[in-house]
Structure 1
Amino acid sequence: MRVGRPRGEGLALALLLAVAAALFVLPLARLFSTGLAGGAGPIVETLGSDAARGALLNSLDSASVSALCALVLGTVLAFVIGLTDLRAKGVFVFLLLLPMMIPPHVTAIAWIQALGPSSPVLGWVGLQPEIGVAHPLYSREGVIGLLTLQHTPLVFLVVLAALRGLPREVIEAARIAGAGPARLLRRILLPLLAPSLIAALALAFVSALGNFGIPALLGIPGRYVTLPVLIWRRLAGFGPSVLTDVAVLAMMLAVVAVLAVTLQGWLQRRARSGLIGPPQPALRIALGRARPGVEAALALFVAGVLALPLASLVATALVPTYGVPLTLQSLTWDNFAEVLLRQGAPARAFFNSTLLAGTAALALAGLSALVALFGARRDRLGRATGGGVATLAEMSYAIPGIVISIAFILVYIRPIPGIGVSLYNTLALILLAYLTAYFAVGLKPVAAAAGQLDPALDDAARVSGARFGRRLWRVHLPLLAPAAASGAILVFLTAYNEVTVSALLWSRGNETIGTTIFNYEDGGYTTLAAAMSSITVLATIALMTLLDRLGQRLPPGVVPWRL
């Protein structure tokens, strides 16, 4: 006798299939169908365009060079933090990860003000460039440099986690055999870490490929246009064929991202090494007399990456007009009052971003738990559904956010058939794009936790007569809650300040923090952009600090950056 699938499990599977269709399949299918609707003509015309070819080459150039630089810098920082007896490791980890949580366009604005002729900080020490000299960041090197600083924390986090997972006996055996630091690095650490290094490089490449804020603010003045910026400019120009042109450009960007992730998987399979033994605490190499020097060098690096640009940002927000030196006579709080009290857009932006990021974090925590549980199941249908949704989420994360925005515009630019409701120019459309763009961020920690659950727990609950909903609520969710909370925290912090996804989806009344800051800077209201950026950075630091303190009382792994 065939026993049908329990009703609760069937509804959950149907929900996941509907979510996958709405978030992944339909938007990307519409994007490619629009791009291919005109046949080969629009594609050939786009590829033959000097602007498109130049933007593609600039995207590949900036993404690959910055990813390699971030890989080297992030790996060195991870080795110093993870393998030595450095003091105050938790503080350094917190500070090194902070640039990852600061929006790219805020990073660009801060560095523009820090190194420009009107830099208040450099002006205090008499090192500011002369008026009329080209800004050093308005160039290819400036774009690559800031992309490197923005994505070094990603590499650092991946490599540091990999170091914690290595069996300590392997390294100790090599040291007992007489291997020095250089030989240990070349023959042991780098081969064992190769899959993680490849993953970190691919993550930095894909993140840089889709970055909009830094290339827009630095590349446009420096005539170094990347594909995301070209898409934004084309869509802003409108015209009868703009959607087809933009769809073709977005397809180019999506194909490059997917090829990069595919190449990553192939390289990881070739580089994988088998390990025997459980992971243990990482090795602590004694630095001896060099420890104060290493700590001072690391502190100087953190100060240069964080203190200089953020001090310039705050100083710019405290003067009446950009370029005026900050003194006791010129100091003013009017820019903060304008942003917080007088104008309506910033208040709406803070509310909208908090609502969108919070809703996306909670929704993805629940959806990730379902996907991870079905992906770890033994039955074929559940495992195929969970694995399929996870694969779609990974592919969508690899696709730049601006491509996802284009896909949702193409789907929802007209009212939904049957109900006549339009999601275009609404917060709901931005929320859907957030769910698509950040699904993989929330899913990764939950999937890892679900893979460690013993199937016997579910079997025992079944035997006791618990239905699917009760098993989910009383057995699985409590065990997955720490991992789900970790993923939700990462989703919230990532979505709260982003500009890449919402740059093409916002409208008046539906502003986000990222788009409001970008519009201030793009419109020439530099002091207002600095004031709102300062508030955003302060809010991000306060939130991370609060989570770090709460992490002392939460289960391990809930706060991702805590050692």
Structure 2
Amino acid sequence: MRLLPLLFPLLALPSLATLWRGLPHVRETLRDLDVLWFSVGLAGVATLVALALGLLLSWAAVEGGVGRGLEALLLLPYLIPPFVVGMGILFSLEGLGVRGTGAPGILLAWTVHYTPLAYVLLRPQVEAAHRLQTVGRVHGLKGARALQAFLPPFAPALVVAGGTLYLAFLGNFGIPAVLGLPERVYLLSTLAYARLLSPLSADPLGQAAAVAVLLGVGALPALLAARPPELEPTPPLPNPYRPWTRWAFTLYAALALGLAVGGLLREALLNPYRGGWDPAFPALLALPLVQKGLLNSLALALGGTALLLLGTALLRPWPLLLRRARQVLDLNYLLPGTLLALGLILLLGGTPLYGSPALLLLAYLLHFAALALRALETGVRVEGGVLSARVHGLPPLRSWLRVGYPLLRPSFFTGAFLILPLAFSEITLSAILYAPGNETVGVVALSLLNGGLYREAAALGLILAGLGSLALLGRKAW
């Protein structure tokens, strides 16, 4: 165990390999600076919009006494895979006669998907400020003086939340792939994918790595401020609630969820010509590619979740080691998945792992490990119970087997229901690393859209949305 921390730097090798391979091609990629500025600018605008909405929703929740039920309604669009939200926005806007592709559609889908993340990062700070506001009112602080007194405590929370959101927007692949690629609107995440698949490039991998380097440069300033989301607001303070703020909160949550899934429901359940009831699920599940994608994703998600929870369980008796491992692996979760995927290709492209499901499994383990570690790190504090068992004569291993691990069952449950839906519907890593025959459901969904099978794609999106909502069952340790 003492030698294990020496292995942690190896986890950064994929990003270092991408940097090494991409640097010689950066000069060629300077022609793509417009994509860099466009990506940074759009991510910046989306960050400001999501922060503003997150603050307003947090204030409405505190003032209106919003509980876990209404919060679940707001959180659902965040638990639905991003590319499914993109499809839902596309179909919903088409039903209203509005074009949903391009930069405006991407911005809207990002806002719908990531505003709940801003909410859960900011609500604890809003509740803390609400306590201060109550004290300030008693001491006569009102109007501008109250704002001047209570806005500064928000600054650190806004920086952290803004960094986390900015990284999420900049590295997101699914929504720009669904809403941007049909209009040839490229962001850095989709441009790297296009460079990798370009038949006209003399070195597609090097050029894709150079775009990924630009992506890393764009992400670097926010990386210092960001952190993985702590998805559990603190209990609200008892205070005289304002019902209209609860209604405003509910209206936004219902509207966002309606935009995310309403179009999917219409497209998947109604015949586009006759307008009658005609679910597309039988046709979807009859497609061999869909069957293969579902099986591949299920195997990868179950296998990855089991391995991550088992590895985390082995580290749990050493809290300091667990924390160090999580701090290192946080980078693989925060940094855009494009960097990790290209780095794995550069490191393992000449090995038997390349093009195999094992490479995808390795990518999933590196990307989602931080969530497993965080679930058990922030779960029930079991050291006291283990120490009591040791005092009563049980050796260390038996103390953990008899006392420690049974107490951690809720945390294992939480980790499983948090990681499993995310791994099942993962698309950024899969789109770059899959090989024919190893397609995942994310890749299948894009293939259905590109093939014009919109009803089947919508039906698959609804299945993934339902699976994503299972993460609400693990909400206590988010």
Aligned amino acid, residue 230 of structure 1 = L
Asked if 1:498 corresponds to 2:476, the answer is: no
In the alignment, the residues of structure 1 paired with residue 259 and residue 220 of structure 2 have an alpha-carbon distance, to the nearest angstrom, of 36
SS at match of 2:447: helix
Aligned mate of 1:230, from 191, 200, 219: 191
1:362-420 CA-to-partner distances (Å, cap 9, x unmatched) read: 332333345565343xxxxxxxx5454223212222210122111111222212xxxxx
Q: How far, CA to CA, are the matches of 1:280 and 1:249 in structure 2?
A: 40
Closer, same or farther: CA 95–16 of 1 in aligned 2, 3 Å: farther
- Asked if 1 retains the 8 angstrom alpha-carbon contact of 2:308 and 2:365, the reply is yes
1:210 CA drift (Å): 0.7
Where does 1:75-474 land on structure 2 (aligned, <5 Å)? 75-81=55-61, 83-86=62-65, 89-116=67-94, 119=95, 122=96, 128=97, 135=99, 137-162=100-125, 166=128, 170-180=132-142, 184=146, 186-188=148-150, 190-238=151-199, 239-263=201-225, 281-288=235-242, 291=243, 293-319=244-270, 324-325=272-273, 327-328=275-276, 331-333=277-279, 335-340=280-285, 342-371=286-315, 373-376=317-320, 385-415=321-351, 422-449=352-379, 466-474=394-402
CA 392–280 in structure 1, closer or farther in 2 if over 3 Å, else same: closer
Instruction: Look up the SS of the partner of 2:152 in the other structure.
Output: helix
- Please report the TM-score for the alignment, with normalisation by the length of structure 2: 0.88
Q: Is the 8 A contact 2:36 2:218 kept in 1?
A: no
1:516 aligns with 2:449: no
User: Unaligned 5+ residue runs, structure 1?
Assistant: 1-9, 123-127, 130-134, 266-278, 377-384, 416-421, 552-556
227-236 vs 494-503, which moves further: 494-503
CA RMSD after TM alignment: 3.0
**Separation of aligned partners in 2, 1:181 and 1:284:** 23
Shift of 1:453: 5.9
Find the counterpart in structure 2 of residue 132 from structure 1. none
Which whole-Å CA distance do the structure 1 matches of 2:378 and 2:269 have between them?
A: 46
Instruction: Mark the runs of 5 or more structure 2 residues left unpaired by the alignment.
Output: 228-232
Q: In the alignment, is residue 44 of structure 1 matched against residue 27 of structure 2?
A: yes
Q: 1:95 to 1:528 in 2, by over 3 A?
A: same
Instruction: Give the counterpart letter for 1:44 in structure 2.
Output: R
Offset of residue 70 of structure 1: 0.7
1:520: how far off? Answer: 0.9
Who wins on radius of gyration, i.e. which is larger? 1
1:283 match: secondary structure:
coil
Number of corresponding residues: 472
Match of 2:230 in 1: none
TM-score by length of structure 1 reads 0.75
- Label 1:458 to 1:113 Cα distance change in 2 as closer, same or farther (>3 A): closer
User: What letter corresponds to residue 73 of structure 1 in structure 2?
Assistant: L
Q: After TM superposition, give the deviation of residue 216 of structure 1 in Å.
A: 1.8
AA partner of residue 77 (structure 1): L
1:16-69 Cα deviation digits (max 9, x unpaired): 755x466x2332333233234xxxx4222222x2xx212211221121111111
Does the residue aligned with 2:189 lie in a helix, a strand or coil? helix
| CA apart distance, 1:529 | 1.0
| CA gap 1:58/1:372 in 2 versus in 1, 3 angstroms | farther
1:200-247 C-alpha deviation (Å, 9 max, x unpaired):
111111111111111122223444311111011111115441111112
Aligned-partner residue type, residue 98 of structure 1 = L
Q: Deviations over 1:472-513 (max 9, x none)?
A: 433443444433433332222322222112111122332222
The partner residue of 1:33 within 16, 20, 41 is 20
Secondary structure, aligned partner of 1:438: helix
- Deviation at 1:439? 1.9
